[in-house]
Chains A and B, each alone.
Chain A
Amino acid sequence: MSAAPQSAGPQSAGPQSAVPQPATPPPGTSPDDAPAARRTAAELVAALPPSPAIWCSGLRKSFGRRPAVQDVSFEVGRGEVVGLLGPNGAGKTTVIKMLLGLVRPDGGESMLLGRPTTDPAARARVGYLPELFRYQPWLTAAEVMAFHVRLAQVDVAERERLDRLALVGLAGRADDRVGGFSKGMQQRLGLAVALVVRPQLVVLDEPTSALDPLGRADVRDIVLDLRAHGVAVLLNSHLIGEVERVCDRVVILDGGRVAASGSLAELLGQREVRLRLSGVTADVAARLAATGSVREADGWYTLSLPADDAAVPLTDPADDAAVPLTDPVPDLVRDLVRLGARVHAVEPGRITLEDRLLGILRSGHGGDA
């Protein structure tokens, strides 16, 4: 989908991968070799892939007797944009709050940027825009930014803080009290606050709920810009189109569990082709069924192609090497014609993330892609 770094993969899925091995010299080395051994160890550590931005395993949380999150595990790689999707009450916000130390998990482990989330230092370079975004109404926007910089204990010059406000469209409102801001402006301020400490990970919980369409588009641009700079983003949004446009991967939660997860290519891998046919004989129908599952309505035959085939890109016919040899459609059309069918139209059908999400939620979890 993009050149953004992908998840480091299962080999680095555990926190162990982030922990440097102790630099003990091999048996038989003399003390004189110790600096060399230390140097080697340091080089080894430096060569390790960076720990994931987010790693969690088996997170559980119940409120009273009601389980809100059950055995949730996923990972967000450095520079990766991951969407968190699911219906209301799926546990998305609870998972986010557990990762940020705002809600105490009943069980499971989690790490941010290579540190356990029980250590506040894990959040030193994390930006967070909460779903419930409210900032001290008696402070001005510039004061809120300065306050968060002091809390994070990083040095960010005033010029840079004002740049962040300008980035979210609050350039002229830096000295106005937050109490006079509209909801949309407070959400913009929240976005600026999330970005102010030069984060390595940004967690956005419904970041566009109070924004107009222009604001939404700008949030999308900001997320893409973060990714371009190697910042990981966890995006919880009900706006599936938004997620589909910016996310490398999605994690779908339902009933507090991970219902499905994978890259967009994996989740949307299934593809459809719509054919308008006449003269469909038993042989023709058999040929169609041999390619994929078929639905027929008013002379239109909708063929669902297997994910493996569909994953091959159907692009750039000018480049011979890019023509997918495994694409079943050309062969299918040739065979249908040969079997006597008349082909009036062939249309590619596209499964949207929304279709896929609804399919997964209605079918009672399609599993990992």
Chain B
Amino acid sequence: MNALGTTTGGVAGDGVSPDLGSRTPNPLRTVGTIAALTLREASRRRVLLALAALTVVLLALSAWGFSRLAAEAGPDTLTSGEARLTASIMLNLVMFGFSLIAALGTAFLAGPTLAGETESGIALSVLARPVRRWAFLLGKWLGLVGFGSGFVVVAGLAQCLVVQATVGYWPPRPAVALALLAAQTVALLTLALLLSTLVSPMASGVVAVGLFGATWIAGVVAGIGESLGNDAVARVGPISRMLLPTDGLWRGAMHAFQDPSAFLRLGGEEAAAFPFLGAAPLTWTYLVWAAVWVAMIWALAAVSFGRRDL
């Protein structure tokens, strides 16, 4: 350190003046500051590099796959309807890969960013500032939402362009599909944020991704039950989609990506067992429920984080 002497003038500022003039800090500015920091963290951590690398690999592989499909399925072998069905299924398959990357990425980013900061002590100096905890949490959440949704939309759009360029298929409602994919990411990262206020960073990521996978499997199992006419098994899907709406939103996204005739072409009701086609568009009721679910989980996270001793 330096010798102090005269250089320290002003450390204190107006220490003796009464604090009548100190303003009440604006929580919205806190939200903006924390959101910007979270985005900067995501961009500077290796996770972004890893995500970018995975995405490029997946895009390149899918471009190769789709071009092979176009080369081998010439006009003599596949009807245009069959080609659209195949393109729909493959597009949904690759999109599932992206949604998985987004889920893993955001869940493992949400955990460390909150629980990790509380454990390491980074949060101590931040929350000792004139900061409301809900504003801190909202900032973190918004930053993660921006990051996760941004990734899904950019990667998804790139994939749609790859498919368009290779096999000439363009999804019927790409904006809806990408928005639902982003909503799925938001639902999962909100859950990861809640978990990270309760358990350790790694555990919160593992549990969130585990639940995400379990709901997806429950959806597949319910599809099998539906195609076999077993109502008890078929009921598993709607229940799990209510408890954690990631699978419901994913199915809505698939439906918007695929060719409108694809589901019927594959066999209608019996095709319900097939995991890479969406049976029906999402209802408004379900979308409202998904929004309410996210709001509830966020509120729980805010209460849990607000009561936590650091």
Contact = CB atoms under 8 A, between A and B. Distances in A.
B80 interface: no
A116 to B, nearest CB: 13
Contacts, number: 170
A239 to B, nearest CB: 17
B125 A152 contact: no
Nearest to B41: A138
A124 B126 CA distance: 12
B10 interface: yes
Interface stretch (A166-174, A280-288, A291-299, A347-355): A166-174
B16 A230 contact: yes
A193 B130 CA distance: 14
Interface in B109-155: 120-122, 124-132
A103 interface: yes
A214 B2 CA distance: 10
Interface string A37-58: 0000000001000110000000
Interface in B174-223: none
B190 to A, nearest CB: 23
Contact of A78 (B10, B15, B307, B309): B15
B4 A198 contact: no
Nearest to B26: A153
Contact of B128 (A50, A101, A218): A101
Interface string B1-38: 11010011011111111110011111001100100010
A233 to B, nearest CB: 10
Interface residues of B, number: 43
A160 interface: yes
A136 B40 CA distance: 11
A181 interface: no
B15 A79 contact: yes
Interface residues of A, number: 68
Interface string B28-68: 01100100010011001100000000000000000000000
A223 to B, nearest CB: 10
A173 to B, nearest CB: 12
Nearest to B120: A134
Given A102-B310, A130-B121, A230-B16, A121 B130 contact: yes
A134 to B, nearest CB: 4
A200 B15 contact: yes
A215 interface: yes
Interface string A85-120: 000000000000100111110000000011100011
B4 A225 contact: yes
Nearest to A20: B20
A134 B119 CA distance: 10
B4 A218 contact: yes
Contact of B25 (A79, A152, A230): A152
A221 B6 CA distance: 12
Nearest to A219: B1
Given A123-B130, A152-B130, A229-B15, A133 B1 contact: no
A171 B2 CA distance: 9
A284 to B, nearest CB: 52
Contacts of A200: 12-15, 17, 19
B13 A198 contact: yes
B131 A222 contact: no
A152 B122 CA distance: 16
Interface string A219-244: 00110011011111000000000000
B299 to A, nearest CB: 19
A130 B25 contact: no
A312 B122 CA distance: 48
A3 interface: no
Contacts of A188: 1
Given A120-B25, A153-B25, A200-B19, A225 B125 contact: no
A135 B30 CA distance: 18
Contacts of A232: 15
Contact of A102 (B11, B19, B30, B127): B127
A138 B46 CA distance: 10
Nearest to B42: A138
B129 A151 contact: yes
Contacts of B33: 147, 150-151
A120 B12 contact: no
Contact of A215 (B1, B11, B121, B125): B1
Contact of A132 (B12, B13, B19, B121): B121
Contacts of A167: 1-2, 4, 7-8, 11
B128 A126 contact: yes
Most A CB within 10 A of own CB, among B1, B40, B122: B1
Interface string B155-186: 00000000000000000000000000000000
A166 B19 CA distance: 28
Nearest to B37: A147
Contacts of A120: 25, 129-132
A257 interface: no
Contact of B129 (A115, A134, A152): A152
Contact of B16 (A79, A101, A151, A199): A79
B1 A151 contact: no
Interface of B: 1-2, 4, 7-8, 10-19, 22-26, 29-30, 33, 37, 40-41, 44-45, 120-122, 124-132, 307, 309-310
23 contacts: A97-B309, A121-B23, A124-B25, A126-B128, A128-B125, A133-B121, A134-B121, A138-B40, A151-B131, A152-B130, A166-B2, A167-B4, A188-B1, A198-B14, A199-B12, A200-B12, A200-B14, A203-B128, A221-B4, A221-B8, A225-B8, A231-B11, A231-B15
Closest 4 pairs between A and B when the two form their complex, measured CB to CB: A229-B12, A198-B13, A132-B121, A230-B16
